[in-house]
Amino acid sequence: MIPDAKAKKWCDLAVNGQAEAAGNLVREFHKLIFAYLRRLTGNDADAADLCQVTFLKVWQSVSRFRGESSVSTWMHRIAYCTYVDWLRNSRPSSEQTESWWKGIREEGATPFEQATHVETARRVYAAVDRLADDDRQIIHLHYYQGLSLAETAGTLAMPESTLKYRLRGALGQLRSQLREPHIKANQTMPL
């Protein structure tokens, strides 16, 4: 991740018409935003479309970026709002294939990378998918995307205290689901 001061400078330069600065922002943040959207949508094609829409919205609003949050938080907020709009309009299926789950583990760091057994990681991802959408967003942003609590709260436009409360509740639900021995990964998601 690049320092926020550098990213803010690129935003300022992009506002002044420097295409190279805009390109730097895309190069630095594309993979992060794409990974976030891929986890939310469950497939590459929708994530690519939403990523493109997200960066279009970033360019349309870069002149209004006031620097009150980090550039990463600002872009994640735009990506999140883009995803919510898409979800309202399309109501996609949330089922993922086994190859999709394996692709997530290969592609990026997650809080579950240290799981030594694929079945354990699959159970955890499936448990996260069973959470309410708002709780799932918190887990995705804070753990999968690595945003701080403040950045996650900013992205979701909620007070940090509310986010902490919701995060504790979501983690409690995950612990409870993962303790239940009768739930197996192949029962909770299609393989």
pLDDT, tens digit (0-9, with 9 covering 90-100), for 142-174: 988 888 999 899 989 999 999 999 999 999 998
118 SS3 class: helix
The pLDDT confidence band at residue 13, using thresholds 50, 70 and 90, is low
Q: If one looks up domain 96-191 in CATH, what number appears?
A: 1.10.10.10
9 SS3 class: helix
Q: If one looks up domain 1-93 in CATH, what number appears?
A: 1.10.1740.10
Q: Roughly how many angstroms between the first and final C-alpha of the chain, as a whole number?
A: 34
Quick check: 118 pLDDT over 70? Answer: no
Same fold, 1-93 and 96-191: no
Distance of CA 158 to the CA centre of its chain: 16
CA gap 158, 183 in Å, rounded:
33
Annotated domain spans of the chain: 1-93, 96-191
pTM, 2 dp:
0.57
- Nearest partner of 142 among 83, 73, 84, judged by Cα: 73
Predicted confidence at residue 111, as pLDDT, reads 47
